[in-house]
């Protein structure tokens, strides 16, 4: 019996880390260079969204890796709806259509 083993080079650990760092830097750069001023953050899933005090008591940046709230509950993303409403439906359709099939931030 003959076994044919093909050797495929694996990316080095340092290149994988470098790639992750580049993606994070790219995301931060993208977030600071646009003038749309959208904001979003993680809040506990059952948070009272109408109460600023409740949201301010526990919220996290989208750049943080957080899996659960302090009470071990789920997290939800809260968007600044007033800022999102400044743009019409055509803007959002064009934006999403421009990202189809792409893996870059821009």
Q: Cα–Cα distance between 78 and 81 in angstroms, integer?
A: 9
Beta-strand runs (E) in 1-106: 40-44, 60-61, 75-79
What percent of the chain shows pLDDT beyond 90? 8
pLDDT value at position 90? 94
Mean pLDDT score across all residues of the chain: 71
Whether the pTM exceeds 0.85: the reply is: no
Q: What is the pLDDT of residues 19-61, one digit of tens each?
A: 445 555 555 555 555 556 678 888 888 766 665 555 567 888 8
Name, in order, each residue with C-beta under 8 angstroms of 74's C-beta and a sequence gap of 6 or more.
44, 45, 68
Confidence of residue 105 (pLDDT cuts 50, 70, 90): low
């Amino acid at each position: 019996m003959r076994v044919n083993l093909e050797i495929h080079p694996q990316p080095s650990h340092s290149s994988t880390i470098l790639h992750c760092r580049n993606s994070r830097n790219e995301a931060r750069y993208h977030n600071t260079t646009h003038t749309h001023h959208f904001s979003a953050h993680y809040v506990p899933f059952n948070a009272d969204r109408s109460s600023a005090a409740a949201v301010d008591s526990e919220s996290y940046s989208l750049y943080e890796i957080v899996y659960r709230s302090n009470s071990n509950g789920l997290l939800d993303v809260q968007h600044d709806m007033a800022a999102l409403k400044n743009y019409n439906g055509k803007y959002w359709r064009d934006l999403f259509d421009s990202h189809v099939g792409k893996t870059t931030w821009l």
